[in-house]
Amino acid sequence: MQRTLVLAKPDAVQRGLIGEIIGRFERKGLKVVGLRLLHVSRELAEEHYAVHVGKHFYGGLVEFITSGPVAAFALEGPDAIAVVRRMVGKTMPNEAEPGTIRGDLGVSGLRNLLHASDAPETADSELALWFGADALVHYAREIDAWIVAEEPTRT
């Protein structure tokens, strides 16, 4: 199983899309193992976006993510990072495919609704940053047997 971080940015929260977004991931079979609603401090925003320091859009990212509440959630499932990234769609909503979250719900540029971890190492560090060491929940769902099938034994 793989875990990943998704942030519903202030535009998603202000537009009342948290439930829609989480629902899409849950209907896909991903499990919510962490959930927070918070006002992001400048320090947290700067640490989260540290890889973009010096880029022309860095200041805008920090300003936007701190402009209103953010819903942070940790998702778990097989190939969760790739699955989430495909479901989220391209960064620019006007370039995102219909059927993706950004393609269906996004409007423009920085107001692209979501952040999603892009690699296992990134997911690990982002989950630690946003949730801490022991904040994620471990639990089993009856439905998991229908989502994660064991490979048949070949003889």
Residues catalogued as catalytic? 115
Q: 32 vs 7, 26, 44, 74, 94, CA distance in Å?
A: 13, 7, 22, 6, 28
The H or E element containing residue 53 is: none
Query: Cβ distance 121 to 16 under 8 Å?
Result: no
Q: Is 30 helix (H, G, I), strand (E, B) or coil?
A: coil
| AA letter at 74 | A
**Helices and strands (DSSP H and E) totals, the chain:** 8, 4
The DSSP output letter for 111 is: B
Q: Are 90 and 97 in contact (CB under 8 A)?
A: yes
